[in-house]
Amino acid sequence: MKEEIYLVEGMTCAACSGSVERVTRKMDGVERSDVNLVTKQMTICYDESKVTPEAIMKKVERAGFQASLWNPDAAKKEEKETVGRKTVIFSLLLSALLMYISMGQMMKTPLPVPHFLDIHANPAGLALTEFLLTFAVIILGRDFFLRGFKALKSKSPTMDTLVAIGSGCSFIYSVIITALIVRGRGSAHDLYYESSAMVIALVMLGKFLEAGSQKKTRGAIEALMALTPETALVLQDGEAREVPVAMLKHGDLLLVKSGARFPADGIITEGSCSVNESMLTGESLPVEKSVGDRVTGGSVSVSGAVTVQADRVGKDTTVSQIVRLVEEAQGKKAPVSRLADKISAVFVPAVIAIALVASVVWSIAGQDIGFVLRIFTSILVIACPCALGLATPTAILVGTGLGASNGILIRSGECLETASSVDTVVFDKTGTITTGVPVLTGMYPCGDTDRGRLLALAAAAEERSEHPLAKAVLAAAEGMELPALSDFAPLTGLGVEAKLPGGGMLLVGNARLMRERGIDLSCGSATMEEAGSKGETAICVAAEGKLLGILTAADSIRPTAKEAVSQLRAMGKDVVLLTGDSKAAAEHTAKLAGIDTVFAGVLPHQKADTVRTLQEGGKTVMMVGDGVNDAPALTQANVGVAMGGGSDIAVESGDIVLMHADPVSAAKAIRLSKHTMRHIRQNLFWAFCYNTITIPVAAGVLYPFFGILLNPMIAGFCMSLSSICVVLNALRLRRKKL
Amino acid sequence: MITLSVPDMHCPNCVKRIQKSFDGEGLKCSIDLDKRTVSVEDGDVTAAIELLDDLGFEAKA
């Protein structure tokens, strides 16, 4: 199976993207195909043995579109402004001028105009000037007319059609009046040039602002992409040369100076530095790194210069992977967006029908042609459903972007939607609720043994061991003066043996080792029992045949685990702990984290079954695990959350990937999902609500009762406003604190 | 003349694509977007359905 992204061009509406999805999904060997109309991306997953990229492109071409393999540079070129800034400003100025000369004279105290434009003295001059000004605006906005009438000709009107017919009708009506005025009949009061021009100008302004806001919603990803520097300093034969990042190879030695960004992922081979990895983890405190530590491209060396051996460059760097993940997610549609697609398709023809009916009704009611024309134009203009089309994609774009900047990677719109309805959160224990690394929890000397001596002896014995428990002991003894031991002998599965400076034998290991050497454990037995009940591991230290004391170590709970659980509880979620460990250890951890429900002693392959059992009980389950041994459970869960430590992202296993090894991020992901869904619903609601309310008003329903009538110009302004509102509402998400 | 129902067709671009593709194959058709139908004139209906299928539309006679 292979997943690729294609750029599909020539799509204009939801039906087009639907067509591309249908033809590609039908291909034998294609597992999944999602097309996003906004980003023009098709995310397709297929079996390489059955389908080739050429076949896919050919299939899409046969359907009447162009497909090419997607690459970020090409996509950037695509984003030119749909409506030029100058065109917008110019048409607005012209329309404003029109407003002034036409409406200004109709006010109680008329605004001054030159004599040749005087409505009473020279109506023909006024009418012709207005005609010219409007004509100029129509030329500037010709695209609306071209697109709109073309669509009408093929009997499938679009939003542009609404604008084109609306503005066009006012224009033609005004031209007829102008002809009458020039012949000395008719009244300049009946001219509607200004509304014709203003509609075009305002819709243009709307499109222009919309394009700007849509660009902004992509901001988070672009910010991520901008993280990698353009060039890198590569060490060759002891000299540093500046090389474009694209030329970097696996194994290159890179010199990174203080304050610079790492150009690629790699391992430090020389020097040490403080690294700010906030772009990855959201954690703003710098982390100390030295020789042997892994650094991630895009993070900043706050202080200190280092040499790094690159091992992931270009497309493989963590940042590139994140960008790819986020973009993939944005290309996958959330089920909720299909609703909007369906409704938009019936909407436009329905609006034209309503406009016609309303016009006929008002004509029969005896209104003059000017009035009917205003009604007709207003309905067409106000009903533009662009707000509907924007509602979902903008919210998802912003939501996934917000997630990415908080170290939460959302892999599909679908899981973003599901996460909001999760009611049970299952945490894996080791590596998720706990750090997965044991730390020393207690020292229990026997008799008059000094605590410091007990620790120092144990540390000295474990000094050469790579065992996690040994590391826990050494970490606790850091900075202590250790006795010099000799004749180290590691005893596999038992512990270690060494000779003391004085010649006696030192034993450090488990109870079995002690019993084998016939050492009396009576002084430590109570400690060991208690440790066992808490799920801790006991390390016995004995010298010269006598037990000196017991050290206990346990996998330490993550400092934020309790906070995460209480946050989830506050949201009304059931929290469950799932682990392969013993019941005692699991319950101890659960108590520390504040979790009530525990499933202990569950083998990795049974974890998925446990999740399934919960689901069969009617629960929507989010499983949080470290992504390696939990993979089946992550897949089984409604939402699988893989917790990656920094750069080692378990990319493939989860629907959501947490960059920061922090259980609170799981709660954040749910909140993010809730916020995003709420914004989508708000957007859809407002877009629909807006049209349902404004269309009757535009149709003149309020006129007989209150004398309220929409002017086509105001309608045009409202219409643009609705799209802008939707986009702004989505952008509001960006400022949400998770 | 046989009229095919094409429920998924709902924009001018769809119509254009269908028209273009039929023209290319030398098939005559008339498309009604309101009724969501494509009428094939004395041509091969199976070929028309296949053609529509390639374009991503499900057609029923």
CB within 8 Å: A23 and B12 = no
A34, A428, A555, A662: which one is catalytic?
A428
Residues forming a β-bridge with A509: A495, A540
Q: Which of A52-56, A80-84, B9-13 has the lowest mean pLDDT?
A: A80-84
Nearest CA in chain A to B53: A23
Contact, A157 vs A151, CB < 8 A?
A: yes
Interface probe, candidates A30, A59, A155, A159, chain B, greatest B C-beta count within 10 A: A155
CB within 8 Å: A157 and B12 = yes
Determine the Cα angle at A39 with ends A37 and A42, to 5°: 70
CB within 8 Å: A349 and B34 = yes
Residue A390 pLDDT more than 80? no
What residue ranges do the domains of chain B occupy? 2-54
pLDDT tens for residues A335-378? 555 555 556 567 777 888 888 898 899 899 888 877 787 788 77
Chain B residues with CB-CB distance to A153 below 8 A: 12
Residue A648 is predicted with a pLDDT of 46
Chain A residues with CB-CB distance to B7 below 8 A: none
Quick one: tokens of A533?
A: 């009940």
Q: Which of A139-153, A198-212, A267-281, A600-614 has the lowest mean pLDDT?
A: A198-212
Residue A79 pLDDT more than 50? no
Asked if CATH classification 3.30.365.10 holds for the domain at A229-314, the reply, yes or no, is no
- Which residues does A604 contact at the CB level (< 8 Å), separation at least 6? A580, A629, A630, A632
Q: How far, rounded to the nearest angstrom, does the alpha carbon of residue A474 sit from its chain's CA centroid?
A: 41
Nearest CA in chain A to B24: A62
CB within 8 Å: A64 and B15 = no
Chain A residues with CB-CB distance to B19 below 8 A: 154
Q: What is the CA radius of gyration of chain A?
A: 35
In CATH, which superfamily holds the domain spanning A408-430+559-667? Answer: HAD superfamily/HAD-like (3.40.50.1000)
Give buried/exposed letters for A503-522 (b at 16+ CB in 10 A, else e). eeebbbbbbebbeeeebebe
Residue A694 is predicted with a pLDDT of 81
Residue B3, burial from CB neighbour count under 10 angstroms (0-12, 13-18, 19+): middle
Kindly provide the ipTM of the predicted complex, given to two decimals: 0.75
Chain B residues with CB-CB distance to A63 below 8 A: 17, 54-56
- The letter for the amino acid at A575 is V
Question: Cα distance from A155 to chain B (closest Cα, Å)?
Answer: 6
CB within 8 Å: A15 and B17 = no
- Which residues does A84 contact at the CB level (< 8 Å), separation at least 6? none
How far apart CA A514 and CA A188 sit, in angstroms, is 110
Interface probe, candidates A22, A152, A154, chain B, greatest B C-beta count within 10 A: A154
CB within 8 Å: B8 and A349 = no
User: What is the fold, at CATH topology level, of the domain defined by B2-54?
Assistant: Alpha-Beta Plaits (3.30.70)
Chain B residues with CB-CB distance to A16 below 8 A: 11, 13-14
Quick one: tokens of A9?
A: 């061009």
CB within 8 Å: B10 and A23 = no
Please name the member of B8, B31, B58 whose beta carbon is closest to the beta carbon of A15. B8
How far apart CA A407 and CA A401 sit, in angstroms, is 10
Residue A78 is predicted with a pLDDT of 44
Q: pLDDT above 90 covers what percent of chain A?
A: 10
How far apart CA A101 and CA A186 sit, in angstroms, is 18
Nearest CA in chain A to B13: A12
Asked if CATH classification 2.60.40.10 holds for the domain at A435-557, the reply, yes or no, is no
Contact, B51 vs B10, CB < 8 A?
A: no
Task: Tell me whether residue A428 is one of the annotated catalytic residues.
Answer: yes
CB within 8 Å: A154 and B21 = no
- Work out the average pLDDT over A301-329: 76
Residue with the bigger pLDDT between A174 and A280: it is A174
Question: Cα distance from B32 to chain A (closest Cα, Å)?
Answer: 7
Containing A623, the helix (H) or strand (E) segment is strand A621-625
Chain B residues with CB-CB distance to A8 below 8 A: none
Residue A96 pLDDT more than 60? yes
Residue A209 is predicted with a pLDDT of 65
Question: Cα distance from A144 to chain B (closest Cα, Å)?
Answer: 15
How far apart CA A193 and CA A167 sit, in angstroms, is 9
Residue with the bigger pLDDT between A612 and A36: it is A612
Quick one: tokens of A220?
A: 């988070």
At A366 the three-state DSSP class reads coil
How far apart CA A696 and CA A379 sit, in angstroms, is 8
How far apart CA A653 and CA A148 sit, in angstroms, is 47
Residues forming a β-bridge with A498: A506
Q: Which of A107-116, A475-484, A561-570, B31-40 is predicted most confidently?
A: A561-570
Question: Cα distance from A160 to chain B (closest Cα, Å)?
Answer: 12
The candidate with the shortest Cα–Cα distance to A181, out of A191, A171, A194, is: A191
Residue B9, burial from CB neighbour count under 10 angstroms (0-12, 13-18, 19+): buried
What residue ranges do the domains of chain A occupy? 2-78, 88-217, 218-227+317-407+668-738, 229-314, 408-430+559-667, 435-557
Q: Which of A176-185, A278-287, A309-318, A592-601 has the lowest mean pLDDT?
A: A278-287
pLDDT tens for residues A243-273? 777 777 888 899 988 888 888 889 999 888 8
CB within 8 Å: A15 and B21 = no
CB within 8 Å: A63 and B56 = yes
Q: What is the CATH number of domain A2-78?
A: 3.30.70.100
Please name the member of B19, B34, B56 whose beta carbon is closest to the beta carbon of A20. B56
List residues of chain B with CB under 8 Å from any CB of chain A. Answer: 8-17, 19-21, 31-34, 53-58
Residue contacts between A and B (CB atoms, under 8 Å): 80
Please name the member of A18, A153, A154 whose beta carbon is closest to the beta carbon of B8. A18
